[in-house]
Structure 1
Amino acid sequence: MKAHEDDLERTFAALPAARGKGFAQSWWGRAWLAALEDGALDLEQVRTGRRLARAGAVGAVSVRPGRITAVVRGRDRTAHRADVTLEELSDTEWDRFLDLAAERSGHVAALLDREMPPHLVEDAETAGVALLPGLGELEAACDCGAWDHCGHTAALCYQVARLLDQDPFVLLLIRGRAERAVLDDLQARGAAAPVTAEPARPEGVDAAEAYAAGDVLPALPALPEVPSEPGVPPSLDTDVPSPHGVEPAALRILAARTAAAARLHLAEALREGAGSPPPAERLTAAQDAVRLAAGEAGETGSDAVGERLGAGSGRGREQLARAVRAWRYGGVAALSVLEEEWTVDGEALARARAALESAWEEDERPPLRARGNRWTVVGESGQLRLGRDGRWWPYRKEGGRWTPAGIAARDPATALAAARSDDEGEEALSRTRRG
């Protein structure tokens, strides 16, 4: 693939047909497609666009801030100009993002390697900067006259997902900054990093003096800043034996998870214009055990803690490991798909069959054997599981057991491509989102 770069516009030559392949192998490419597939009002137009992109009907793609453009030929070979727009980040949002990226050298190194670090995206979202498009944010315009996504704009989105796989700077350009400008800003921030001591904390106000002052109260101290990392719990290693029934490793895990949650709540409270956060979903004891085991602190805990979490949730060691893997891919929804088998019937079955029918060309469709909400590829170690929300989850047989293999997708072909490949970035993304 050759690209011409002219400051704030890049033009990518038309890509060859993508028969029999998923359109996005990276987690950020799949997140881009999720914004299209979950936000489009007419899923049939999305399927048409997928078929057009798979057949190589999308011409050269022009990428510039806030807009992507290409000429797409419909099934009747008529050429149409398709545009998809995405709101650019403001200067304030760019400053936040670049400050976060410059904090860790690993972020910059990953970007230079054409990787999108999951932790960077997660931290940016926490700071109120959404790099990846959300539901309904990919706006469409086409000279065919459609008022929402048509087959031509959907095909363009599928093609851009392939470009994003190879170069995440394409996403940053759509959000408003060229690659060279981003790297120059990161270099400037790295070189200008302050080396002075931390400023002194504001002095506190004596409670008795404040009460006695009545209406004339001293000014409140400035709002705290969000720390770059959650606090580290104090060491519990002492020569004093632990009280009966108390597991120091378990306490370390709970303290670390509490510190991470406190940092997240502080960031939410300080976010500009933030309202009251939605109530957290109440987990069962079995689900919460998996959540704790899936956290980073759980990875460094003792075997005894893992055994207790497994026993408390009614799972053996292998079962807990698969549950943790599912959780990191999709939280409660992914865990339910792992552990529940249900009968697909009525309208849900009709939609599932239509999705499977349109996901591949007839001569490329893999042979599938259905049982409940699970479709297994005959002769392969790949499986698709349908969630109750209509998304498809990829599974792969490992050690004789079906194991989660990636995040969910609206397109069965995209999900199955994940089951046939190893994508460590997806697991890292899920770990940061769900941990």
Structure 2
Amino acid sequence: MSAAAPGPGATPAHSAGSWGAAWLRAMEGAARDTARLARGRAYAGTGPDAARGASGGGAVSAPRVGTGRVLAYVHGSRARPYRAEWRLPVLSEEEWATFLTAVAARPVLAAALLDGELPYGVVPVARAAGVRLLPGAGDLLPACSCPDRGHPCKHAAALGYETGRLLDADPWALLLLRGRAAEAVRTEVARLGAARAGPSAESPRRRAGGATARRCGGDGGGSLSDGRRPRATRLATEVFAASVRPPLPDPQPLPDVASEPGVYPELPGAPDAGALAFLAADAAVRARHALSAVAEEDEGAGRGAAGEHEPLPDLSRWHDTVRLAATHPQLTGRGALSARFAGLARSVGRDPLELARAAAAWRQGGPAGLAVLEAAWDPPAGDFDRGRSALAGLGIAMTIHRNQLTHTTRPVQLRFGSDGRWYPYRDASGPGPAGRSGSDRDGSGPAADWWPEGPSAADPVQALTGLGQR
């Protein structure tokens, strides 16, 4: 079988003995429907009718490789992308030990790995040692969040073709798929090489480097093929020997959006990989927010902008849980009470619906919006009375209960916050106001089910109008 399914102009460029070609042979061997493979090639941007997605060259957005799996979001016919992935069994500890011992026994290969290269020559070495490094058709398992039950569906097929290109660009990704990161592999090869050579012998890197330098006419002090390392070493020595340090470079520009986390391994006894990715995404968003706030304060120095807001306020566990539920895209909405949302609520001893209501209040006004939800208070004379009078002047009849103004005929309410803003609420307990008494509508009756809804505003008429438009 070729490196890609047949089709004029659709086969990606992979040499026969390449990492990408080996992956594609296994993926296509596992496929049960060649038509879906053709659609996947188009989605991956390798065919003449390639789909255009978020990545620019196709519909596959930034594949992420982790232990035993590669995943990405693939844009299909709907606006929201699907989550596709391929799973691959990891090598056992015995297989890893056998493979790395075989590599360490070959100085040239060992030196290449220690220099950051992964030549295709390690494949026959692994095979001779009885370890199958490349995947077979029976090793790959596709999955996708789309309703198509194909094996694979077109979205997973697109990810498969994109993975072939990824492996050609970075072969170390295959070792990560098999269970070991590049740094762990190099560390173990170095240890095995040193143990094999003995304390007084040269390391595999030096022996291979010297042999290569002699073949190339060099002095043996560089890398496998050139003398860049000695020059870099001399440059570093000169820099650190100087008493005057050059100024630090300008900081890199702030990214437009927070980056997504990598793929976390799913290991026995370890925290849930999806939960770790969820928290890492939140940490990235908060880090970007903090950097943005600092940059704004630096730009505003001399204009009175510094210190106007706290980029990362000190929150209680409950408040931080509400913030997370309100700001993370996977946890928003009254109807999105997923298993992760319910687990988040249980972690703080709350009901999922209670957390959803609190998250809605947080989206209205952060800690101030949550305070309006959680406690009624008696505002002093001033803005509250003026707001009530403005509504009465427009013919809007409202009952009053502490800081709450409740419409007499409609299931809407305004709550006045200590920050001087008005927070709109809607009663979600029934189909309409018919048959309810006024006591049910003052926020204290058992029939009332008030939900924060719509943006807050400094003007009560504006807040009430925004609620009515929703």
TM-score, normalized by the shorter chain, greater than 0.5: no
> Normalising by the residue count of structure 2, what TM-score does the alignment of the two structures yield?
0.36
TM-score normalized with structure 1 length: 0.38
